[in-house]
Homo-oligomer: A and B are copies of this chain.
Amino acid sequence: MAETSGAEHSETGERAVRRRLPPDERRRQIVDGAVAFFADVGIEGATRDLARRLGITQSLLFNYFATKEELVEAVYARVYLDRLSPDWPERLQDRSTPLRARLLAFYTEYSELIFQYEWMRIFMFSGLAGAALNRRYLDHLGKVILGPLLAELAESARSGPPPTMEDIWNLHGGIVYIGIRQHIYRMPCPDDPSVAITHAVDRFLYAFGLEAPSGAAAGVTASAARR
């Protein structure tokens, strides 16, 4: 999270230098802080604690957001924004590139985007709360990413039963679960998930008669496939 200014003090509340900031900059600082704060303690976190962490007073929050709910919405918007790159659909359907390379490129970039403390936790908090943005995101993911991905796989598949959407969700879930283990459950995880991602994608493709012969341990990994 970008430190917008040097005015924040540590959470052990010694006095900070008072800083007057341009409104939009202050607003950005508050949203940034709120993202980090709510990711830690959940959306139910107290506005006073958030203010203390930001080094401002609680009442100031309400100068920028009429209600706490409005602030939470801003946090959701910030976190969900640009998390699904608009060019992924076409890149996933670019048949001049092998399907495996497309999959590896997508999941490498996607995992770098979402395997982050703030995103993972706020996504889970908002999911449990039934937030509208959460459902919209998952709908969009299914329609715009995983749907086309299924079509591509069905087109290329050379053996076995035809793939279903449930198979795609299984691939997706197995990969996303790395981030869940890391940031939700705080389990020790490999710092670079691309090896696990590569293996998961290869196992998946192999089952449909695609690429990755059994000895391909030295193949291109997801991290090296980054465009």
- Residues of B contacting A171 in the complex (Cβ-Cβ under 8 angstroms): 174
Residues A185 and B44 in contact in the complex (CB < 8 Å), given A166-B195, A173-B180, A203-B207: no
- Among B138, B160, B177, B215, point to the contact of A159 (Cβ < 8 A): B215
Please name all residues of chain B whose beta carbon is closer than 8 Å to the beta carbon of A77 when the two chains form the complex: none
The answer to whether residues A160 and B217 also contact, given A128-B42, A181-B173 and a CB cut-off of 8 A, is yes
Stretch at the interface among A47-55, A83-91, A119-127: A119-127
Complex alpha-carbon distance, A180 and B160, angstroms: 27
Is the C-beta of A225 less than 8 angstroms from some C-beta in chain B?
A: no
Residues in B whose Cβ lies below 8 Å from that of A8: none
Q: Quick one: given A160-B215, A185-B127, A185-B138, are A177 and B176 in contact (CB under 8 Å)?
A: yes
Whether B186 contacts A130 by the Cβ 8 Å rule is: yes
Question: Any chain B CB within 8 A of the CB of A23?
Answer: no
From B42, B127, B173, B190, contact of A166 by CB (8 A):
B190
Chain B nearest CB from A219 CB (Å) reads 10
Question: Is A128 within 8 A of B184, CB to CB?
Answer: yes
Q: Binary interface profile of A, 125-148, with partner B (CB < 8 Å = 1, else 0)?
A: 101111000110010000000000
Chain B, residue nearest A218 (CB): B161
**Which listed residue (B124, B174, B214) contacts A124, Cβ 8 A?**
B124
Check A170–B160 contact: CB distance below 8 A. no
By a beta-carbon cutoff of 8 Å, the part of chain A in contact with chain B is 42, 44, 121, 124-125, 127-130, 134-135, 138, 159-161, 166-167, 169-178, 180-181, 184-187, 190, 195-196, 199-200, 202-204, 206-207, 209, 214-217
Q: Which 10 A-B pairs have the closest CB atoms?
A: A173-B177, A174-B174, A203-B207, A159-B214, A161-B217, A166-B196, A170-B174, A160-B214, A44-B44, A173-B174
